[in-house]
Each structure stands twice: as structure tokens, then as C-alpha cells.
Amino acid sequence: MLKTQEFTLNMGPQHPATHGVFRLLLHLDGETVVKAEPIMGYLHRGIEKLAESRTYTQVIPYTDRLDYLAAMLNNLGYVQTVEKLMGIEVPERAEYVRVIVSEMSRLASHCLATGAYALDLGAFTGFMFPFREREKLMDMFEMICGSRMTFNYMRIGGVADDLPEEFYPAIKKFLKEFPACVDEYDGLITGNEIFQARTKGVSVLSSKKAIQYGMSGPVLRASGINYDLRKKRPYGVYDKFDFEVPVGENGDCFDRYNCRVLEMRQSHRIIEQALERLQELPEEEPLNAKVPKVIKPPKGEVYHEIEGAKGVLGYNVISDGTVNPYRVHVRRPSFINLSLIDEMCRGWKVADVVAIIGSLDIVLGEVDC
Amino acid sequence: MENLFTNLAGSLRAALESTGLPAILTDTSMTMVKLTAILVFILLNALWLVYMERKVAGYIQFRPGPNRVGPKGLLQTTADIGKLMSKEVVIPKQADKVLFLLAPALVFAPPLMVFAVVPFGENMAAIDMNIGLFYFLAVASLSTVIFWMAGWSSNNKYSLLGGMRVVAQMVSYELPLVLSILGVVMITGTLNISEIVRSQQGIWFIFAQPLAFLIFFIAGVAECNRAPFDLAEGESELVAGPFTEYSGMGFAMFFLAEYASALVISFMCAILFLGGWLAPFGMTFIPGWIWMFLKVYLVMFLIMWIRWTYPRIRVDQLMGFGWKVLVPLSLANIFVTGLVMKIFKMLGW
């Protein structure tokens, strides 16, 4: 009788396909995964604790470092939470600017997710194409706030600065080119026979399980649940836009990937509409609400959530009436989406583990916080 | 021009004979000269192919590729190899030292041995063996053992998994590779590579045996571990597979050997199916050996094009594809070839 032995493989913390310093302890039977233990915390910086000793405005740059691939959305979630706590009304013009930059951030994040997913499956050229567009987005962010990754652009009550003159032609050019670029991704990656063989039917996540584990974002929608906070509980001015929520059917890796690609097209639509309305507004209109010089929210607790690039991004802020928040807690979608990784990986091959992690689109800054 | 190299060899032989050396010495030195020429040719080609691959990749990915070192970046690979040579060779503590060092030293041997029988043009094979094709099949699959040696001796789990994959891949793809060639052998009735090329005077075998060409090409790409069959290396899963622990020149040897074996497959494709040195449309004013290179590089470009377009296939899909698709298809090809030959014979063609 042949005796087989289970063996363990440390995937990470330094591994090309774990999207950062994430470690997965795999118990393997040959190449088949018997058990997968996620080990995280390599990028823990204690952002929530740090926030307690900073003023409300000083917390904003820390939120950039959560999901550093879609930092504008983190900014947005935090400032809206504090505004909710203080009851601040944000001027309409600032709202549109916020929508534009947030959706650009979502595009940038999804571009990276799409490209990195192709790379995870071994298609290097599939990685380069979305990165070309991501690069253009980063250039535009640089025009807006001087930074390419960590923006610190939003302020409590508005945004830091007006959109610069040179931004408008750049974004218009980008919007014109972008749909053709997404078609290109569809041709190169989505439609590829091997890509579909690698992703279709792999690691199916049932809608019931997805809800039970609090999954959100494209991961949840791929399982067939139409839940997008921009539609379900619109915040800011999102109720004024015409867009659809792409929903998957099977909840497999392919659907999770495809949801993101389809969402890119919707984000493109939102930016187009927001830009149009923004330019209709008179330019004299302020970009900031009247906010006291020292931000001292009243005693109380508030929870606010927005639709981040990876899922529902929630901020829970407790104020004790001083200049520093008493407690800031972040509901990080990447972390929660990762909670089922063991069950999702079981019975699949090592190569599939890479595909599964990629399809969850985690970012370690957010997982470890 | 056509006989440039054969004339060179002839005059060299004449010069040697005129010095009054014994025949055996003349033969030995002639063989040595030929083999040295092949060695230089392959090593230069490997260098050039790395550069070409990067340029092709650059072109596909709308970026310039290497363009800093030397004119148009031509010296980039040379510089890279120079850098790798100057690096320390790190041997892991737990590694099997002998095997670990032997593997990169041996990895060039199989492709080099194959080239001994490959004709670069009319009468341009170093050794015109009458079982050349058989020899090619026997020697080419040896590289699997070397990859397995590297994977096993590194004592690293990623290397081990990579080594396992190499062996599994070889078992599944060697068979369709051999079976696809069988159609050609049946038509020509010879295992001599030069004879096979000569018998394509009438029709190239890519037209007579299109299915066999496809199977041979796919199995060949799998055989030399190129994408989408680069499972052994599989950098997004296995870091670098069997080569994970290699550094410096050890790594460079594997790196260059990959191109040497890809070159072998390209040569075989050109010889068996694309008419070798035969000129198409009677364009004989271009020498045969140039035609040979053009065809080889066409196949090479195809391999690169595929690599930079497709994702990697999964290990069970790879085996399934080999056993369930390629093997039955190649068997069917043999059957149909036999049938057609029989019918032709009955019709008296």
C-alpha cells in the first residue's frame, strides 16, 4: 500500500500572489488543498488606535493608508461619518467633486484588481493593459491633489481644493477612450478560453453563505445578490445618477472578476453624469461648508457606511465632546470578505488558491488596518 | 551562397588532409570544429532570443522593451548574464549539494545533444544519423530528469511541487509528441531527419499532416515548459518552481536552457512540417540555410506570441488535455494517415 502524507506549505508572507504581506498556511495532499489557515497582521499599524490621539481632521491621512488602492473612498467614508455626527450639510458642488474622485478611485482599484487577476493566472500582458488606464487615473489624481496614492483630499465639510483647469480636458479624454479599453480587457482576458477554464465554476460561493459571512461588494453581488449601497441607501448625491448594479449568477471566480469589469463601465457612466452636472453649477458656489475652526463634535456615536471598491466600508466614530475622537472603528470589507477563505479553498488546487485570493481582491492595508 | 558552410567545411577538411595528418585525426578535428560551431550558435541564439522575447513582449504590451544597453538595447542580455555571473552562488543548507550543482551544469546537455543531428541546411548536419528522429525523441525528454533533479535537491517545497509538475507534464506530453511524428514517419518511411526534409519537395507536411503539426506544436510547447504550459515555473503559484533556490549563474543556466530547448522545438517544427531548408514558391535565390532560420524564427515568434497572450493552464487541466484530447487525436491521425496511404497505394499513386 502506498502511504501518502499531508504536507504544509507556507504561502506568504512574501509570495508574489498574495497581494501583499498575507500568509496562507496550506495543508496539501499532493496539490489539493485540505485546509487553508489565513495568518494576517503583518501590516498592522494600529490605525484605529492612532486615530484616538489625533484631531478629527488629522485622521483623514490615516484613512488613506487603509485601502491604499482606492484611497478617495476611504476619505469619503470617514468625512461623511464625521459630517453625520456634526450634522454638516455639504455644498452641492463639493458633492459632485467627491463623486467624481470617488468613482475614479473605484476605477483605479478595479483596474488593478482586473490586471492583477490576469497576472495571478499567468497572463502578463493582461496585467499591463488595465495598468495603462490606472496610470492615466493616477496622473489625474496628481493634478487634483498632488499625490498619486495617498490623497488626503477630502475635508470635513467639503474638499481640499477645487478641481484644476487641466483636469477637465484630461478626464474628458479619458472618458472618451475608456469604454474601448474595457472592451479590450474583455477581449484579452474575459473572453480567453484558458481564463474561463481557470475561473468558471471555481470556488462557488452560495448567496446564503455570502450573506451569513457578511460579504459585500463585488464578492456578494457575484453570488447573485443585488446589494449596492449607492442604490439601496444612497449617500451624498448618488440618488441623482442613472446607473445599474451588475449582478453575477454563479458566485464563482469568474463572476467575481466579471462583476468588477462590469462595474467599471457603470463607474464610467457615473463620472460622465457627475462631470456634466458639476459644470452646470456656477463656479462661485463654495466647495466647503461652514465648519468651525476647531472641530469638536457633540458627544455621541455614529455609524456610517458607503460602498467602497471592495465592499461595504463602514466607519464607527464615538465622540466624547473633545477635539480627539474617543474611538474610531472601521468595518473593512477586505477583512470580512477574507473570512471564508478556508472553506473556499478546500478541495481546490494550489493554482486555484491564487485564483480565489485574486477574485476576492483583498488589499492588505485594509485587512490588517 | 547556398553551399557557403559546406564549402567552408570542405576546404577546411582539404587543408587538414594536405598537412598529412592521419584520417582519424582529421575526422575528429572536423567533428570538434562542427560541434564548437553549434555550441557557439546555440549560446548566441539563446542570448539573442532572450532579447527578442523582451522586445516582442514590449511590442505586445505597448512599451519599448530593453533599449539602453548597447545599440537598441542589444547588449542587455549580455549585461544581465554578466551580472548573474558575478553573483554569489547560494547553496541552501539542507540541499543535496552534488545534485543541486549538477542540475544547472547538465541542463544545457539535452538541447546541445539534439543539435548534433539537426541539419541547419542541405548537408549541414554535424552527424547525419539514420535514426536521427528517434535520437531526438530519446534525448529531448532527458531534460525532465534534470528539472526533477533541481526540484528534488533544493529541498524546498515549492521546488518539489515544481519538480513533480515537470514529471507529470513530461509523461502526459511525451506521448502525443511521439505519436504526432509517427504520421510523418509513416509517409516518409525514414527516421533520418535530412531524408524527411528531402521528401517534402512535393508538399510540406504541415499541409499533408495539419493535425499532426498542431499536436506536435502544442506538445512541443508543453515539452519546453513555455506558457501556457509553464506550470513547472508557475511564478504566481510556485514562485519559480524547481529554480526557486538557484541564484547567480545557476539560475542563468536554467534561464538560457529554456530558450535552447524552445529553439530545438522550433527547429523540429521547421524540419518536420515546414519543409526545413526547402524554399517555398521556388525562391531558391535565397540560400536554404536562410530559409531554415526564417522558418525557425517564425515558429519561435509564434511561441512567444502565445506566451504573452495566454494565461497559465491548471495542472489537472493540463493532464486532462494531454490524455483526453491530444493522445486520442494523435492516434486518430495515425489511423487516418494509414488509411489514406493504403487507399493511395490501391489507386496506384
Is residue B348 scored above 80 in pLDDT? no
Please tell me the distance from the alpha carbon of residue A90 to that of residue A159, in angstroms, as a whole number: 10
Q: Supply A121's cell numbers.
A: 493566472
* Chain A residues close to B62, C-beta within 8 Å: 128, 132
Contact across the interface for B228 and A194, Cβ inside 8 Å: yes
In this complex, the residue of B238, B239, B310 whose CB is nearest that of residue A192 is: B310
The reply to whether A351 touches chain B by the CB within 8 Å rule is yes
Q: Cβ contact (<8 Å) for B312 and A124?
A: no
Task: Record the cell numbers describing residue B91, joined without a space.
Answer: 547553496
Q: What is the pLDDT of residue A30?
A: 79
Band the pLDDT of B199: cuts 50, 70, 90. confident
Mean pLDDT of B183-187: 85
Q: What tens digit of pLDDT does each residue of A115-156 get?
A: 989 888 888 888 888 988 999 999 999 998 888 888 888 888
Angle at A195 between CA B163 and CA A36, to 5 degrees: 55
- As a residue count, chain A comes to 369
Arch. (CATH architecture) of A56-368:
Orthogonal Bundle (1.10)
pLDDT of B1: 64
Q: What is the pLDDT of residue B349?
A: 67
Q: What is the mean pLDDT of chain B?
A: 84
Q: What is the pLDDT of residues B29-82, one digit of tens each?
A: 877 888 888 888 888 888 888 888 888 888 888 888 888 887 888 888 888 888
CB neighbours of residue B309 within 10 Å:
17
Q: Which residue has the higher pLDDT, A142 or B12?
A: A142
Nearest CA in chain B to A185: B309
Question: Does any CB of chain B come closer than 8 Å to the CB of residue A238?
Answer: no
In chain B, residues with a C-beta closer than 8 Å to the C-beta of A188 are 309
Encode pLDDT of B77-92 as tens digits. Answer: 888 888 888 888 888 8
Q: Which amino acid is at A104?
A: M
Provide mean pLDDT across the span B147-163: 86
**Cβ distance of B311 and A9 shorter than 8 Å:** no
The reply to whether A29 touches chain B by the CB within 8 Å rule is: no
End-to-end CA distance of chain B: 37
Q: Which residues of B61-89 are buried (b: 16+ CB within 10 A; e: fewer)?
A: beeebbeeeeeebebbbeebbeebeeeee
More confident residue, A283 or A327: A327
CA distances to A306, A348, B156 from A355, in Å: 27, 10, 23
Contact A215, A336 (CB under 8 A): yes
Q: Do A16 and B235 touch (CB under 8 A)?
A: yes
Task: Return d(Cα B338, Cα B321) in angstroms, integer.
Answer: 25
Interface membership of B230 toward A (CB under 8 Å): yes
> Is the link from the previous residue into A169 a cis peptide, with omega within 30 of 0?
no
Phi-psi region of A214 (alpha: psi -120 to 50; beta: other; left: phi over 0): left
Contact of B24 with B3, CB cutoff 8 Å:
no
Q: What is the ipTM of this complex?
A: 0.80
Report the alpha-carbon distance of residue B288 to residue B277 in Å, rounded: 4
Q: What is the pLDDT of residues A199-220, one digit of tens each?
A: 988 888 888 888 999 899 899 9
Any idea of the CA torsion for B223, B228, B233, B235, to the nearest 10 degrees?
Answer: 170
- pLDDT for B27: 80
How far is Cα A240 from Cα A237, in angstroms, rounded to an integer? 6
pLDDT of residue A237: 87
B309 Cβ under 8 Å from any chain A Cβ: yes
Nearest to A216 by CA among A306, A322, A153: A306
Q: Which of residues 1-20 of A touch B (CB under 8 A)?
A: 7, 9, 15-17
Instruction: Give A288's DSSP letter.
Output: B
**Closest Cα of chain B to A85: distance in Å?**
45
A354 to chain B, any CB pair closer than 8 A? The answer is: yes
Collect all residues of chain B within an 8 Å Cβ-Cβ radius of residue A125.
57, 60-61, 308-309
The number of C-beta contacts closer than 8 angstroms across A and B is 81
How far separated are the first and last CA of chain A, in Å rounded? 49
Distance from CA of B158 to the nearest CA of A (A): 8
What residues of B are in contact with residue A201 (Cβ under 8 Å)? none
Supply the pLDDT for residue A149. 87
pTM of the model: 0.85
Question: Nearest to residue A351, comparing CAs of B255, B168, B158, B307?
Answer: B158
Lowest mean pLDDT among A138-147, A260-269, A355-364, B247-256: B247-256
Q: Which residues of B touch A195 (CB under 8 A)?
A: 311
Question: Cβ separation of B57 and A31 shorter than 8 Å?
Answer: no
Look at B310 and A197 and tell me if their CB atoms are within 8 Å. no
Q: What is the pLDDT of residues B85-128, one digit of tens each?
A: 888 888 888 888 888 888 888 888 888 888 888 888 777 777 77
Test A198 with B311 for CB contact under 8 angstroms.
yes
Residue of A nearest to B318 (CA): A194
pLDDT confidence of B2, banded at 50, 70, 90? low
The verdict on B61 touching A (C-beta cutoff 8 Å) is yes
What's the pLDDT score for residue B174? 86
Q: Which residues pair with A26 in a beta bridge?
A: A9, A36
Residues on chain B touching A18 (C-beta within 8 angstroms): none
B281 has a pLDDT exceeding 80: no
* pLDDT band with cut points at 50, 70 and 90 for residue B257: confident
Distance from B316 to chain A by nearest Cα, in Å?
Answer: 9
Could B311 and A194 be called an inter-chain contact, meaning their C-beta atoms sit closer than 8 Å?
Answer: yes
Contact residues, chain A, for B234 at CB < 8 Å = 122, 351
Chain A contacts in chain B segment 158-177 (CB below 8 A)? 158, 161, 164
Q: Do B314 and A197 touch (CB under 8 A)?
A: yes
- Within 8 A of B314 by CB-CB distance, chain A residues are 197-198, 349, 351-352
For residue A173, count other CB atoms closer than 10 A to its CB: 12
Give kind and range of the element (H or E) at residue A116.
helix A92-120
Instruction: Classify residue A232 as exposed, middle or buried by CB count within 10 Å of its CB (0-12, 13-18, 19+).
Output: exposed
The three three-digit cell numbers of residue A348, written as one number: 481546490
| Residue A328 sits at the chain B interface (C-beta within 8 Å) | no
Which chain A residues contact residue B324 at CB under 8 A? none
Write the pLDDT tens digit of every residue in B13-27: 777 777 777 778 878
**Cα four-point dihedral sign A64, A66, A71, A75:** negative
The answer to whether residues B290 and B120 touch, using CB atoms and an 8 Å cutoff, is no
| d(C-alpha A189, C-alpha A41), whole Å | 32
B314 to A195: CB separation less than 8 angstroms, yes or no: no
Quote the CA–CA distance of A149 and A139 in Å, as a whole number: 10
pLDDT of residue A303: 92
As beta bridge partners, residue A305 has A314
Do B211 and B184 form a contact (C-beta atoms < 8 A)?
Answer: no
For position A1, what pLDDT does the model report? 67
Question: Is B311–A132 a contact, with Cβ atoms under 8 angstroms apart?
Answer: no
Name, in order, each residue with C-beta under 8 angstroms of B77's C-beta and a sequence gap of 6 or more: B47, B48, B50, B51
Among A7, A119, A128, beta carbon nearest to B236: A119
Decide if B236 and A16 are in contact by the 8 Å CB cutoff: yes
